[in-house]
Amino acid sequence: MNTMTFEKLQYNELKRMVKFHCVSSLGKELLDKLQPSTNSKVVKNRLNETTEARNILNAESHLPLKGIRNINHQMGKLEKGMILSPSELVAISDFLRGCRIIKKFMMDKEFFAPVLHGYAYSMMEFQGIEENINYSIRGNRVDSEASKELKRIRNQVAKTEEKIEERLNKFLKSSANKEFIQEFFISKKDDRFTIPIKASYKNQVEGTIIEASSKGSTVFIEPSAISKLNAELATLKVEESMEEYQILATLSGSILEEIRQININIELIAQYDMIFAKAKFSKSMDGIEPKLNNHGYIKLKNCKHPLLPGNIVPLDFEIGKDYRSLIITGPNAGGKTVVLKTIGILTLAVMSGFHIAADEGTEIAVFDQLFVDIGDNQSIENSLSTFSSHMKNISEIMSASTNNTLLLFDEIGSGTEPNEGAALAIAILEEFYQMGCITVATTHYGEIKRYSEMHSDFMNAAMQFNSEKLEPMFKLLIGKSGDSNALWISKKMNLREKVLQKAQHYIENKNYDLERVRDNRVKKPVLDTNQEEITYAFEVGDRVKLTEHDDFGIVYEKKDNLNNVLVLYKNEIVKVNAKRIELEARATDLYPEGYDLNSLFVSYEERKFQHDMERGSKKALKKVSKEMKKRLSE
């Protein structure tokens, strides 16, 4: 078993689900370290522990593990010669009380759980240490009753503080000091009693300045009247600290003397927490303890993958008795990979002591090794293709496998040319078979299915498919070979019906449609109209589209040397760059030969006036004469 096996089969996700049922970090840490065992006796013992814990839960519905804390940190400090604080001592006292309660609980469970009952005998009780800690520590501090000397010192401290407060109150009430005082209360600064004095009067009050306010307007002075008492108080505080330290040292020493046995208690509590977490997980999914063997036989009856939610189709499966290699075929998304993962995770779970969701009669083998090759292991960093990464993994598996190894291969031989892939897959399966391994593999290759049919110790299996509804049923049928149902999947993906019908025809016979594509479906070379428009010079009278206005105009004057064109647009002549106009129609296509293009830019009134002048109209001549006189007068 390697890291890839655990990752592909989601073994760590399974352990996280079980950890959810732990009540302390002790059990969680033990579960983190848990690995599947290859020893049949160890596996049997683990399963038995889970079964006994499940029996207790069924009868009692709970285990008194609440309040149990991890005290490994405190024990580590003791081993380094450090003195524990009051709160740390309380934690150890709580732990020892929890040990005592659990031992008492387990001592009368011999009928339900003889093995777990036996573990309780290894758990020692330390009621004396518990009582000493509880007597000496109250409210996370050393209690005055912990020793006569501490009681005497604290009584003396209380009397001294009372005398100090009396003198300070007298100071506050004195009319002589009234103008010096900033606020009328006693303030304690660093265990020293002070009075808030106005900064401007700090030299008027006899005493020691202990502290000043942030703005500097107030100073906290210890009046000289209590200096002696404050000194006495400081001495008493030192004596108090020394006595407290002595008490804490004594308590810490008493625990250190029993540290070996207390560490055994910690291990037992962690073990109980983990075992009952397994039992709670078993109860949550109505799990059972399967039968065990060590000769590679697996029989699954209505088994469910522990990580799959909802109403899933249970798995019935068998291998290792009438055949040692199983080849599973069927459509993509039909459940083949889930079958492999279910077999793998259930095997790892049982070898770890977990119950599984299954019917009675289920049997699991304890293997020396379990390897998988599932999914895409392509490596960009190592420049490995999908096929190369599969071959690298299989090569490493081949080197590590024994005759007591379970192998799970998904799409063996895929990722390369089908004929070579199928031949290579058959050779690999043969080699593992000759090594004595138990192998389950999925494939789409017909050659592998045919090989399995021919070999007496191989068996085919198929994922059941509803041909009427054209949908998978996610049920494994051993003894049958299935199709990949590529047409069904393609139909689900809305591939054209015409294509599906042709594919069905080609499956049945090889009369391929070799008709050439119709000529009108072939794309012909087309002149780039944009190129034509850019190189075209534009002639007077051409109808063009002004792209900026999305409207049409008429070319008034051809391109100049700056590639600009004059265009008549809405009775105005505008200058437009040739790249911003598109040819709509040539003038030669719009007007007959010999047509006066200049007339395009003259209005009706102007054309009529020109015509009247040509025929000698008096009205027209009179109009011209009038305009000339007007210009002369200006």
Q: What is the pLDDT of residue 427?
A: 93
Q: Is 576 left (phi over 0), alpha (psi -120 to 50) or beta?
A: beta
Closest CA to 230 of 164, 166, 165: 164
The more confidently predicted of residues 612 and 130 is: 130
Q: What is the pLDDT of residue 470?
A: 52
User: Is the pLDDT reported for residue 572 higher than 50?
Assistant: yes
Closest CA to 195 of 158, 238, 226, 159: 226
Helix axes 227-257, 72-79, angle to 10 degrees: 100
Q: What is the pLDDT of residue 279?
A: 95
- Alpha-carbon distance of 116 to 103, in angstroms, equals 10
Strand order in the sheet with 207-212: 187-189, 192-198, 218-223, 207-212
Confidence class for position 280, pLDDT limits 50, 70, 90: very high
The more confidently predicted of residues 356 and 194 is: 356
Among 12-21, 325-334, 420-429, 455-464, whose mean pLDDT is lowest? 325-334
Contact between residue 213 and residue 229 where contact means Cβ atoms under 8 Å apart? no
Closest CA to 252 of 89, 73, 128: 89
- Alpha-carbon distance of 371 to 441, in angstroms, equals 12
Residue 114: strand, helix, or coil: helix
Contact between residue 116 and residue 53 where contact means Cβ atoms under 8 Å apart? yes
User: Is the pLDDT reported for residue 292 higher than 70?
Assistant: yes
The more confidently predicted of residues 166 and 83 is: 83
Q: What is the pLDDT of residue 592?
A: 83
- 387-428 tens-digit pLDDT: 788 888 899 999 999 999 999 999 888 878 888 888 999 999
The more confidently predicted of residues 191 and 419 is: 419
User: Is the pLDDT reported for residue 123 higher than 80?
Assistant: yes
Confidence class for position 532, pLDDT limits 50, 70, 90: very low
Q: What is the pLDDT of residue 599?
A: 73
* Token couple for 606: 């102007």
- Alpha-carbon distance of 306 to 49, in angstroms, equals 20
- 63-74 tens-digit pLDDT: 787 768 899 999
* Token couple for 271: 């073990």
Contact between residue 265 and residue 124 where contact means Cβ atoms under 8 Å apart? yes
Contact between residue 302 and residue 314 where contact means Cβ atoms under 8 Å apart? yes
Confidence class for position 330, pLDDT limits 50, 70, 90: confident
Contact between residue 262 and residue 255 where contact means Cβ atoms under 8 Å apart? yes
Confidence class for position 527, pLDDT limits 50, 70, 90: low
Helix (H) / strand (E) element for 612: namely helix 604-614
Contact between residue 490 and residue 500 where contact means Cβ atoms under 8 Å apart? yes
- Helices H, strands E: what count in the chain? 21, 21
- Alpha-carbon distance of 248 to 142, in angstroms, equals 8
Residue 555: strand, helix, or coil: strand
Confidence class for position 383, pLDDT limits 50, 70, 90: very low
- Alpha-carbon distance of 32 to 35, in angstroms, equals 8
Q: What is the pLDDT of residue 475?
A: 80
Q: What is the pLDDT of residue 378?
A: 40
User: Is the pLDDT reported for residue 445 higher than 60?
Assistant: yes
As a whole number, the mean pLDDT across the chain is 85
Confidence class for position 376, pLDDT limits 50, 70, 90: low
Give the rounded distance of the alpha carbon of 46 from its chain centre: 30
User: Is the pLDDT reported for residue 32 higher than 60?
Assistant: yes
Closest CA to 305 of 244, 257, 261, 346: 346
Strand order in the sheet with 458-466: 369-373, 405-409, 438-442, 325-329, 458-466, 471-478
617-624 mean pLDDT:
70
User: Is the pLDDT reported for residue 385 higher than 70?
Assistant: no
In the chain, the percentage of residues whose pLDDT exceeds 90 is 47
User: Is the pLDDT reported for residue 215 higher than 90?
Assistant: no
- Alpha-carbon distance of 31 to 278, in angstroms, equals 10
534-559 mean pLDDT:
85
Strand order in the sheet with 315-319: 291-293, 363-365, 298-303, 315-319
pTM over cut 0.95:
no
DSSP letter at 597 equals: G
Confidence class for position 333, pLDDT limits 50, 70, 90: low
- 57-111 tens-digit pLDDT: 998 867 787 768 899 999 999 999 999 999 999 999 999 999 999 999 999 888 8
207-212 and 218-223: which strand pairing?
A: antiparallel
442-460 mean pLDDT:
89
Closest CA to 11 of 370, 438, 451: 370
Among 129-143, 423-437, 566-580, whose mean pLDDT is lowest? 566-580
Q: What is the pLDDT of residue 109?
A: 87
Contact between residue 275 and residue 347 where contact means Cβ atoms under 8 Å apart? no
- Alpha-carbon distance of 532 to 286, in angstroms, equals 80
Among 223-227, 291-295, 357-361, 471-475, whose mean pLDDT is lowest? 471-475
